């Protein structure tokens, strides 16, 4: 049986919450990413958007059909919202994206209606399924292709909710990346050099090396989606 709540003191450090107020906080259902990159829609509505003061008010908003995640109407206050996901409230025409900042905190930022139709997803694996190539994406989803030239660690700009590929972002020198793990979490840098298991990045005048597992390719000359306030 999955526990519905979590002690605040044990909540992921990426959650932007007060640790010493109420003892418990809503535990999200399992999502496509690990717990450090996932929170619940309840936590977002209460602590980030401040649209509800308690679980009863959260459930009321959800029951009215006013809350969407990645353009899917949700019906569970523990619904998982992951890094780069989109939260929409059609009644107020508001759209938000969950990002991670340089303090290592998951934050909600406002985005336009047009951008709410887009999402950047990292390719974390590939496999062969019935003669087709299946791309395993960082949000837990998979896409099948007959032919393609995509590689692990590349990113795809896709439409939401149907996951149609709009643009391919190769993992190569000169590309812009967002770090979502590690010492330099939340920074945006350009790829200076690529090694077997690591990559050298430059942010302003700072040059540093990090793991390929920590980065998301987000564009070339500029990020293709909004990543900061």
Residue 99, domain member (yes or no): yes
The C-alpha angle with vertex 84 and arms to 44 and 16, in degrees rounded to 5, equals 35
227 within some domain: no
CA-to-CA distance for 83 and 1, rounded, in angstroms? 26
Are 99 and 183 within one domain? no
Which two three-digit tokens encode residue 118?
A: 């887009």
Q: What is the pLDDT of residue 116?
A: 97
- Tens of pLDDT, residue by residue over 183-222, are 999 999 999 999 998 999 999 999 999 999 999 999 999 9
Instruction: Return the bridge partners of 166, or none.
Output: none
- Which residues of the chain fall below pLDDT 50? 1
Residue 228 lies in a domain: no
CB 93 within 8 A of CB 113: yes
Query: 93 and 50 in one domain?
Result: yes
> Which residue range forms the structural domain that includes residue 205?
176-219
- If asked whether residues 107 and 186 sit together in one domain, one would say no
104 and 39 fall within a common domain:
yes
Q: What is the CATH number of the domain that holds 186?
A: 2.30.30
Question: Would residue 78 count as lying in a domain?
Answer: yes
pLDDT of residue 203: 97
Tokens of 81: 């919202």
Q: Which residues of 21-59 are buried (b: 16+ CB within 10 A; e: fewer)?
A: eeeebbbbeebbbebbbbbbbbbbbbbbbebbeebeebe
User: Looking at residue 25, what is its pLDDT?
Assistant: 87
Residues 50-72 have pLDDT tens digits of 999 999 999 999 999 999 999 99
């Amino acid at each position: 049986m999955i526990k519905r709540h979590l002690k605040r003191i044990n909540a992921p450090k990426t959650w932007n919450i007060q640790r010493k107020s109420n003892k418990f906080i809503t535990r999200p259902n399992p999502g496509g990413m690990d717990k450090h990159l996932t929170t619940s829609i309840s936590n977002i509505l209460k602590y980030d958007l401040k649209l509800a003061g308690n679980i009863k008010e959260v459930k009321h908003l959800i029951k009215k059909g006013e809350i969407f995640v990645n353009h899917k109407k949700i019906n569970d206050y523990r619904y998982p919202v992951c890094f780069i996901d989109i939260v929409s409230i059609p009644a107020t025409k508001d759209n938000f994206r969950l990002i991670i900042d340089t303090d290592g905190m998951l934050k909600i930022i406002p985005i336009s209606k047009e951008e709410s139709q887009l999402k950047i997803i990292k390719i974390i694996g590939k496999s062969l399924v019935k003669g087709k190539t299946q791309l395993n994406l960082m949000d837990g989803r998979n896409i099948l292709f007959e032919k393609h030239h995509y590689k692990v660690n590349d990113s795809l700009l896709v439409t939401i909710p149907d996951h149609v590929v709009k643009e391919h972002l190769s993992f190569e020198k000169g590309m812009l990346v967002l770090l979502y793990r590690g010492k330099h979490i939340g920074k945006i840098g350009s790829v200076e050099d690529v090694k077997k298991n690591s990559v050298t990045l430059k942010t302003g005048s700072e040059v540093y090396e990090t793991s390929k597992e920590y980065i998301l390719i987000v564009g070339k000359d500029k990020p293709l989606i909004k990543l900061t306030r």
